[in-house]
Amino acid sequence: MSVLQEISPNVRNMIQLESTVLAIRARQIKEELRQKVRKPYKEVIDVSWGDPHRAGVKPLSFVRQVLSACLYPQLLNSDTLPVDVRQRAQTLLAGCDAGSVGSYTAAAGISEIVCRVSEFITRRDGGVPSYPEHIFISPGSQWALTSILNVLVNSEASPRTGVLTPVPCYSTATLSIMGLGADIVPYYLSEEQGWELQVEELHRALDSAKGACNPVALYVINPGNPTGHVQSRKSMQEVIRLVAEKRLFLLADEVYQDCVYGENSEFVSYKRVLAEMGPPLSDTVELASFHSASKGIMGECGLRGGYVELVNLDPAVMKYIYKLFSTYSCAPVLGQIALDLMMNPPQPGDPSYPLYSEETQHIRSTLAHNVKRVFEVVNSLPCFCCQPVEGGAFAFPRLHLPHKAIEKAKEMGMQPDMFYCVRLLEDAGVLVSPGQDLGQKEDTYHIRFCIMTSEDTMEEALRRLSSFQTQFMKVFS
């Protein structure tokens, strides 16, 4: 018997994801395809993660050129790379100890980069000041989120610490919260209203938590994952008033701020809305805002570059946060550089600008096109409907599964949307995530798939999805 037979209940209680099961099966199918086993498709289309490069979106040339020069500074001595790439690499290397991306950096990140992140935030927010001392660069936004949650959550507390979390919500966030020994206090987003956050629902959720746990924070994702909803200013103001009134810490996950497609949608940061509401709210509401180089047009998920900006925090607490970050040394340097390049892209007049502009325009129009196609196609299929995807990386359409399908799923010991995903993978070679992993209202079923893909990948995925859906409904109605 293992010494480790007994493990932390916080770890044990983290839910096992169905997506993991699907991913394992997908790997097997890929192997079977390699062994030339006959299937109705030649390859598996994986749209289960918010991973643009995996789904066919190309990295930006400027970004990769700068990274290559930082990695191998010999490239600075030749004309292989454009002059502005070389200049940028030189500036970045000057911020690294002894000019190497292999050196550790300051715990919160390379100070010149942190300053530029701060300047970016100020520009983005129409001049609202941002302070480098309140910014921590981390290996991806998830790391920063877990760290801030770690400071908020007292796993020994009784009653337990609670975190208000949206339903649906991407699974990594909910697992982090559970893993730290906090309770999830779910608040349901309104599917019929395009997945809007309604403040009355927040009140209801808080009431439901009375006596059960002690809510300390409200976690919002804007633009939403998986919903793609972009919050209105009015809604954000209501949230801010609520957290002030109910004394909650506001965690704003804003990693998709650069992915907005809806014609009537506009991203505005929680920080900006807070600042515009003026004192006393603007001086008192405690806010953590998260961003990342993984999403947006760059899609550099694998480089692990993200940051958190902390607003209105107690300076004594900030000291501990700094210490916490320092035990992990620092974020990967290439991730820090990716973040910097995201915030300071080539400008008109720079040699790299034309290509940069072309590539980013192409990606943006592809995404806008994908979003439109998804809406059209999914809403034209039987028993399938999708709210407009205003932003973010995913579509989260609803399946109105026929009774027979639900029964069959029960027979097989699966949730109905998992059953659907399994069949979709086996029969059509498309890997998506089942709604049960993300949370949904009881007796509703959804799937989530990435829309940050190449145009070809999206068309093929939709084609397969359409014929599968049609066939599936025939079989089970």
Distance CA 289, CA 325 (A): 16
Residues 62 and 360 sit within 8 Å (Cβ to Cβ) = no
DSSP state of 17: P
Distance separating the N- and C-terminal Cα atoms of the chain? 49
Q: Is residue 133 a contact residue for another protein (CB under 8 A)?
A: yes
| Smallest gap from residue 250 Cβ to another protein (A) | 9
Footprint on residues 281-300 left by another protein (CB under 8 A):
282-284, 286, 298-300
Residue 198, classed as helix, strand or coil, is coil
Position 131, amino acid: Y
Return the range that interacts with another protein (CB under 8 A); candidates 136-144, 358-366, 370-378, 432-440. 136-144
Nearest to another protein of 362, 408 (CB atom):
362
Residues 433-472 that bind another protein (CB under 8 A): none
In this structure, what token pair is assigned to residue 128?
């609202």
Confirm or reject binding of residue 80 to another protein (CB under 8 A): yes
Q: Find the binding residues for another protein in span 308-327 (CB under 8 A).
A: 312-317, 320, 323-324, 326-327
Minimum CB distance to another protein smaller for 80 or for 193: 80
* Site of tokens 């992915």: 259
Query: By the 8 A CB rule, do 195 and 387 touch?
Result: yes
- Pick the binder of another protein from 103, 347, 357, 379 (CB under 8 A): 103
How many Å apart are CA 362 and CA 384, to the nearest integer?
A: 29
By CB under 8 A, residue 216 contacts another protein:
yes
Give the range of 105-113, 194-202, 220-228, 359-367 binding another protein by CB under 8 A.
Answer: 105-113
Which positions from 328 through 367 interact with another protein, judged by CB under 8 A?
328-335
* The one among 97, 200, 426, 456 contacting another protein by CB under 8 A: 97
Name the one range near another protein by CB under 8 A: 103-111, 262-270, 383-391, 406-414: 103-111
What are the residues whose beta carbons fall under 8 Å from the beta carbon of 383, sequence distance 6 or more?
A: 399, 400, 401, 402, 469, 473
Spatial neighbors of 416 by CB under 8 A, at least 6 apart, are 399, 401, 405, 406, 409, 410, 445
Report the C-alpha gap between 150 and 261 in whole angstroms.
Answer: 34
Minimum CB distance to another protein smaller for 61 or for 87? 61
| 3 CB-near residues (< 8 Å, 6+ apart) | none
Q: How far is the CB of 472 from another protein (least distance, A)?
A: 28
The closest of 473, 465, 329, 347 to 405, measured between CA atoms, is: 473
* Nearest CB to another protein, comparing residues 276 and 427: 276
Determine if 210 is a binding residue for another protein (CB under 8 A). no
Query: Which phi-psi region, left, alpha or beta, contains residue 109 (left: φ > 0; alpha: ψ -120 to 50)?
Result: left
Other residues' Cβ atoms within 10 Å of the Cβ of residue 37: 9
Indicate which single residue of 25, 33, 56, 203 sits in contact with another protein (rule: CB under 8 A): 56
CB of 398 to another protein, least distance (A): 26
CB 50 within 8 A of CB 225: yes
Applying the rule CB under 8 A, the residues between 138 and 177 that interact with another protein are 139-140, 142-143, 146, 150-156, 172, 175-176
221 binds another protein (CB under 8 A): no
Among 33, 39, 41, 53, binds another protein (CB under 8 A): 53
